Amino acid sequence: MMVTVIKVLSVGLTVAADLFYLLSLFAAYKFFSEKRRNHRSDQPPVTIMIPLHGADSGAYRSYEQLCQQDYPRYQLIFGVREREDSSIPIVERVIREFPDQDIELVVCAKTIGENLKVSNLHNMLERARYEHLLIVDSDIRAGSDYLRRVIAELSGDRVGLVTCLYRASEAPGLAGKLEAIGMTAEFAPGVLTARLLEGVKFALGSTMATTRARLDAIGGFAALADYLADDFMLGNLIAEDGYEVRVSQYVVETAASHAGFMGMIRHQIRWARSTRISRPMGYLGLILTYGTALALLNAVLAHGSEFSLGLLGATLVIRLTMAWLVGVHWLKDRILRNYFWLVPVRDLLSFAIWCASWVGRKVEWRGRQFEVSHDGKMVEVRREEAYAAQID
């Protein structure tokens, strides 16, 4: 009886996953076919904030592109916590080679919470000149029209934040390729489906354009200081405050990690575990995004029956069609196009990570061990253990 129930459940979940893929395809079509209008007649001055922690691969190229924006007036602030940070010589080179650009480097170790990136941003904010803020990850690359197009969408009284989808600009090794494929063939469709079903209630760290007024209204960076998923929380708090979080049609590029396969796995586990702890029901629903694994599991349970193999074939056709159209056709992902055959491998890896993430509450981030609480906040494990030892 139990075996029959499991077989029926696997078929039902696989069919539901196929429907999810079709819904994702529709969500992407709807998003990319929208005619966006430039709602701003002005181009307000903007402060671009780039928090740093060590030198990224190709960092100079990323910073150079930010210095070459087709925009009349903007400021660049780079922030580090330590004077020995390896990114400082690169920033100093940028300052030398772009003397007419308004660039500042902030070095400050002040801490306001467990998330050191947020503390970095808080320290940088004191040097920001302008009301409009654009926070970007340190490895982001974009064309000269990036700032103009993103700020154009931060218009009207109800738009509180603008964020961007992203694709990888490079992918070193198999681990980098699998991570890059996940960005456009898995993550982006999920974002666009969420946008279609319930609106966007989160932000993506690749790009977060907002204003001081919106940031102050949610309590500033201090409101994010203890959260692991600070980008998610920034968008979430602004959405809860009654403002629209908008996904721009501009797609930026990011450099995939050079940390190797295990480094990539740790990064994926960290994201998955923090999401599971913060939003357990929503995370449980992610099982419907793993159609390839579900269809394969169903075929195994059915001992390769004609029906199960047919369902597996249909699932792969739907899944690969969605991945090609979203990732290659619309997001213009060259890495996905060149290594498209890795999509099923990435699907199986993602399912394994999803399963593994249900065990444990600890994550590793930038060489530190944290335990994530039910509300998404984190506490450094060693600090917590030291405190317990003092009590004993």
pLDDT of residue 39: 60
pTM, entire model: 0.89
Q: What is the mean pLDDT of residues 319-341?
A: 97
Structure tokens at 264: 């990539």
CA dist 87 to 94, 106, 288, Å? 11, 12, 41
CA distance 392 to 390: 5
Rg (CA), the chain: 22
Q: Please write the tens of the pLDDT for every residue from 145-185.
A: 999 999 999 987 789 999 999 999 888 888 889 999 999 99
Half-sphere exposure of 178 (CA within 13 A, CB side): 20
| The CATH number of domain 35-264, selected from 3.20.20.120, 3.90.550.10, 3.40.50.10470, 3.40.430.10 | 3.90.550.10
pLDDT of residue 40: 62
Residue in this structure with the two tokens 């009301």, named with its chain if needed = 131
For the chain, what percent of residues have pLDDT higher than 70? 92
Mean pLDDT, the chain, rounded, equals 88
User: Looking at the predicted structure, is the pLDDT value of residue 391 above 50?
Assistant: no
Q: What is the mean pLDDT of residues 344-367?
A: 83
Domain ranges (residues) in the chain: 2-30+276-365, 35-264
